[in-house]
C-alpha cells in the first residue's frame, strides 16, 4: 500500500497518464469500493497515516481503478453505446427515374413509400426523347432531363438509383431508337424493372419469338400452342407461301402497325416489294379467324386474364372498337405466363397475347415486357402493383448493398473457436511439451519437472490461439524462475516495478479466462502459499499488468456478452483485492 501511494503521488507517474485521467483525480469516486477487504485489514493492520495523504492516495487509486475498468471494458467491446443519444441523421432520398409519357403521374403512387423503411423516394419522370446521359466506370450514370411542365421547360441533372421503364426503347414505325440510352444505363450499372438485358433483347420481335420457340419445343404444342410463323431476313427470300390468307409483319413495330393481311399470291409479291423498300426483315403467319383475343398479364406475383372481342368488324382486335372483360385465370394461362416470365433472365412484368379461333383452338402470337399497356377496369390497381414491385426491388437492392463489405464498414464478428478442454489419460503424452520461454528470459531445462498422475495437461492454447501456454505448476524451480534475483539483476537500468511484455503471462499469475468460461481464480491463501518470492512489489505490478492485458479474442464478440461483462467486473475486483493480500 505504501509503495502504491509513493508511486501514485509521484509527479512523473501522474504526468505520463493518458488524457482525461487528471479530471477524474480531482473528484474521487465514492461509489467505488475499497480494494482491501475488512478481513485482510484485521489480519494486516496498517500503521496510522496522516489523514490528508491517506484520502489523497485513496481518491487517486479509486479514480485510476474506475478509469482503468472503463478502459478495459471499452477495449474488450463490452460497453453498450446504444444508450447514448445520437443526433438523427437525415437520410438522402433514393432517386427513381420513371420512363413513361406524361399521361400517368407516377409520383402519387410512390407517395409515402420508403426504401427499407428509412429512405424516401424521389420520383423523376420523363420520356426517352427527353433524356440524355453520360456513364462512367467509377462515377455511375449522370442523367440529363429536359421536360415541359405546364408550358415551362425544366432541366435537371441527377444520378438515378433505380429506373422503371414503361416505354418501348425501339420502334421502326415511329423512327425512335433509344437503344443507346439502354446501353448507357447498363454501362453505369443502373438497376431497372424490367432488367436492361431483357429490355435490350425485346427490341426485336423475331428475337423474342425465337425464345417462344424454345418454350414450345420444351413444353410441347398441347401445353404451349404457338402460332406457325416464318421468318424472312430480307425480301429476296419472299417468293411464295404455302397457304393463304397470311399476315405479313414488317420489322419491329407496336400497336398493330406494320401488319398486313395478304389474300393471294399477287398481293404477296407486292408486299415483298414494300419490304425491299423498307430494307428490313419480315415474318409471315397463317391468318386465324379469331373469335376473341386473350391477354394474360403478370405483375410480380399478380395474374390477370382478359378477353377482347372486336365489335367493329376489323380483323385486328386491337384496332377500332372492342369489348374488354376480365376472365378467370386458369392453370393453362398461368403456365403460359410463368414460362414466358423466365426468358432473358426473368421478367418482373410481362403479358402473353393469344387468339382464340372459331374452331375452339388457342394460338400464342406474342409476349410483351414492362412497356405493355395497362387495360381493363383495374388500371389503378395495376399501377399500384407496379409501384409496390419497384419498392420491393429497391429495398432488396439497398439490403444487398448494405451487407456488402466496404472500407468504411468493419468486418463482421468472427465465430470464436471453442477452447481446448483439458484431457486426461493416454492423451497426456501428446501435449507434454512445455511453453517456449519469452524473449530475453532464461531457458528452463527440459525434464526438470517429473510427470504427475493427477496433474492437468502441460500445454494449453492461450486465448489468442497463437502460442501454447503452460498451466500453473507448484515446482519450486518454476516458481522461482519468473521472479528470481538472477532475472531481476539481468534487467539493468529498469525499475523493480517494470511489467513484462503484454500477452506474456508468468506462470504464477492467473491467466485471463477465455470468453464464455468461468475463471479459475485461486483463493488468496493458496496464492500466498504458492508465491514465496521475495519481491512482492514486482509480482503485484505483474498481476496488475496481466489483469488489464486484453486478449484479441475478446474483441471479436460472442453470444454471451452479458456474462462476459459480469466476469470482467468480477475479475477486476478480485485482481485489486489480491494486490493487498500480503
Torsion angle of the four alpha carbons 439, 445, 449, 455, in this order, in degrees rounded to the nearest 10:
30
Going 27 to 29 to 35 to 36, the CA torsion angle's sign is positive
Other Cβ atoms within 10 Å of 23 Cβ, number: 10
The model carries a pTM of: 0.58
Tell me if 58 sits within 8 A of 29, measured CB to CB: no
- Report d(CA 51, CA 28) in Å as an integer: 15
Query: 56-81: string of b/e by CB count within 10 Å (b at 16+)?
Result: bbbbbbbbbbebbbebbbeebbbeee
Question: What kind and span of H or E run contains 324?
Answer: strand 322-327
For residue 19, count CB atoms less than 10 angstroms from its CB and return exposed for 0-12, middle for 13-18, buried for 19 or more. Answer: exposed
Per-residue model confidence as pLDDT tens for the chain (582 residues): 566 666 666 666 556 655 555 554 444 444 444 444 444 444 444 444 444 444 545 555 565 666 566 655 655 555 454 444 555 566 899 999 999 999 999 999 999 999 998 999 999 999 999 999 999 998 899 999 999 888 888 899 999 999 999 999 999 877 889 999 999 999 999 999 999 999 999 999 999 999 999 999 999 999 999 999 999 999 999 988 878 999 999 999 888 888 999 999 999 999 999 999 999 999 999 999 999 999 999 999 999 999 999 888 788 877 778 899 999 999 999 999 999 999 999 999 999 999 999 999 999 999 999 999 999 899 999 999 999 999 999 999 998 876 544 333 444 444 444 444 444 444 434 444 445 554 444 444 444 444 444 444 444 444 444 444 444 444 444 444 444 444 434 444 444 344 444 444 444 444 544 444 444 444 444 444 444 444 444 444 444 444 444 444 444 455 467 788 888 888 887 877 777 665
pLDDT attached to residue 568: 83
State CA 319 to chain mean position distance: 50
Pairing status of strand 119-126 against strand 94-99: parallel
Tell me if 79 sits within 8 A of 73, measured CB to CB: yes
- Give the chain's length: 582
- Report d(CA 239, CA 258) in Å as an integer: 19
- Report d(CA 34, CA 37) in Å as an integer: 7
Tell me if 572 sits within 8 A of 71, measured CB to CB: no
- Report d(CA 99, CA 139) in Å as an integer: 22
Question: What kind and span of H or E run contains 244?
Answer: none
Tell me if 288 sits within 8 A of 357, measured CB to CB: yes
One DSSP character per residue, 32-99 reads: SPPSS-HHHHHHSPPPP--HHHHHHHHHHHHHHHHHHHHHHHHHHT-S-GGGS-----PPPPEEEEEE
Three-state SS for 248?
A: strand
For residue 390, count CB atoms less than 10 angstroms from its CB and return exposed for 0-12, middle for 13-18, buried for 19 or more. Answer: buried
Q: What is the CA radius of gyration of the chain?
A: 41
Reading phi first (left if > 0) and then psi (alpha if -120 to 50, else beta), residue 251 is in left
State CA 230 to chain mean position distance: 48
Amino acid at each position: 500500500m505504501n509503495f502504491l501511494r509513493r508511486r501514485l503521488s509521484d509527479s512523473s507517474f501522474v504526468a505520463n497518464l493518458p488524457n482525461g485521467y487528471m479530471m477524474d483525480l480531482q473528484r474521487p469516486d465514492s461509489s467505488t469500493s475499497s480494494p482491501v477487504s475488512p478481513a485482510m485489514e484485521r489480519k494486516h493492520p496498517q500503521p496510522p497515516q496522516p489523514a490528508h495523504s491517506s484520502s489523497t492516495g485513496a481518491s487517486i487509486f479509486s479514480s485510476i481503478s474506475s478509469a482503468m475498468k472503463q478502459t478495459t471494458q471499452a477495449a474488450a467491446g463490452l460497453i453498450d453505446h446504444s444508450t447514448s443519444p445520437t443526433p438523427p441523421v437525415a437520410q438522402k432520398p433514393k432517386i427513381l427515374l420513371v420512363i413513361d409519357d406524361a399521361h400517368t403521374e407516377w409520383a402519387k403512387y410512390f407517395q409515402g413509400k420508403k426504401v427499407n423503411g428509412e429512405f424516401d423516394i424521389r420520383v423523376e419522370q420523363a420520356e426517352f426523347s427527353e433524356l440524355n446521359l453520360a456513364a462512367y466506370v467509377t462515377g455511375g450514370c449522370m442523367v440529363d432531363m429536359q421536360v415541359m411542365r405546364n408550358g415551362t421547360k425544366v432541366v435537371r441533372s441527377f444520378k438515378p438509383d433505380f429506373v422503371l421503364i414503361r416505354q418501348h426503347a425501339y420502334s421502326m414505325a415511329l423512327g425512335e431508337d433509344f437503344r443507346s440510352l439502354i446501353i448507357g444505363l447498363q454501362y453505369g450499372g443502373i438497376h431497372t424493372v424490367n432488367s436492361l438485358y431483357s429490355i435490350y433483347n425485346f427490341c426485336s420481335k423475331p428475337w423474342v419469338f425465337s425464345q417462344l420457340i424454345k418454350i414450345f419445343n420444351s413444353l410441347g404444342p398441347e401445353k404451349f400452342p404457338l402460332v406457325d410463323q416464318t421468318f424472312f431476313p430480307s425480301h429476296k427470300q419472299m417468293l411464295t407461301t404455302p397457304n393463304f390468307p397470311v399476315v405479313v409483319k414488317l420489322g419491329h413495330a407496336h400497336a398493330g402497325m406494320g401488319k398486313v393481311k395478304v389474300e393471294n399470291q399477287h398481293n404477296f409479291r407486292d408486299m415483298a416489294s414494300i419490304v425491299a423498300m423498307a430494307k428490313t426483315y419480315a415474318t409471315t403467319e397463317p391468318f386465324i379467324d379469331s373469335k376473341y383475343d386473350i391477354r394474360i398479364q403478370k405483375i410480380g406475383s399478380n395474374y390477370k386474364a382478359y378477353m377482347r372481342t372486336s365489335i367493329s368488324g376489323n380483323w385486328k382486335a386491337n384496332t377500332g372498337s372492342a369489348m374488354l372483360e376480365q376472365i378467370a385465370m386458369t392453370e393453362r394461362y398461368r403456365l403460359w405466363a410463368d414460362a414466358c416470365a423466365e426468358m432473358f433472365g426473368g421478367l418482373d412484368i410481362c403479358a402473353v397475347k393469344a387468339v382464340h379461333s372459331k374452331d375452339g383452338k388457342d394460338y400464342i402470337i406474342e409476349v410483351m415486357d414492362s412497356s405493355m399497356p395497362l387495360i381493363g377496369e383495374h388500371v389503378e390497381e395495376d399501377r399500384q402493383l407496379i409501384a409496390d414491385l419497384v419498392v420491393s426491388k429497391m429495398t432488396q437492392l439497398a439490403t444487398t448493398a448494405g451487407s456488402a463489405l466496404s472500407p468504411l464498414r468493419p468486418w463482421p464478428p468472427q465465430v470464436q473457436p471453442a477452447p481446448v478442454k483439458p484431457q486426461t489419460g493416454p492423451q497426456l503424452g501428446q501435449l507434454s511439451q512445455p511453453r517456449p520461454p519469452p524473449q530475453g528470459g532464461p531457458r528452463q531445462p527440459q525434464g526438470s519437472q517429473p510427470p504427475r498422475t493427477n496433474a492437468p495437461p502441460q500445454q494449453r492454447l492461450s486465448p489468442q490461439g497463437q502460442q501454447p501456454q503452460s498451466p500453473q505448476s507448484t515446482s519450486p524451480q518454476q516458481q522461482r524462475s519468473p521472479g528470481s534475483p538472477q532475472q531481476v539483476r539481468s534487467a539493468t537500468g529498469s525499475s523493480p516495478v517494470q511489467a513484462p511484455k503484454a500477452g506474456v503471462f508468468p506462470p504464477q499469475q492467473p491467466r485471463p479466462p477465455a470468453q464464455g468460461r468461468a475463471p479459475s481464480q485461486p483463493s488468496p491463501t493458496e496464492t500466498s502459499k504458492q508465491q514465496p518470492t521475495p519481491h512482492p512489489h514486482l509480482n503485484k505490478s505483474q498481476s496488475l499488468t496481466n489483469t488489464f492485458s486484453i486478449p484479441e479474442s475478446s474483441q471479436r464478440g460472442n453470444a454471451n456478452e452479458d456474462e462476459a461483462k459480469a466476469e470482467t467486473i468480477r475479475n477486476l475486483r478480485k485482481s485489486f483485492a489480491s494486490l493487498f493480500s500480503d
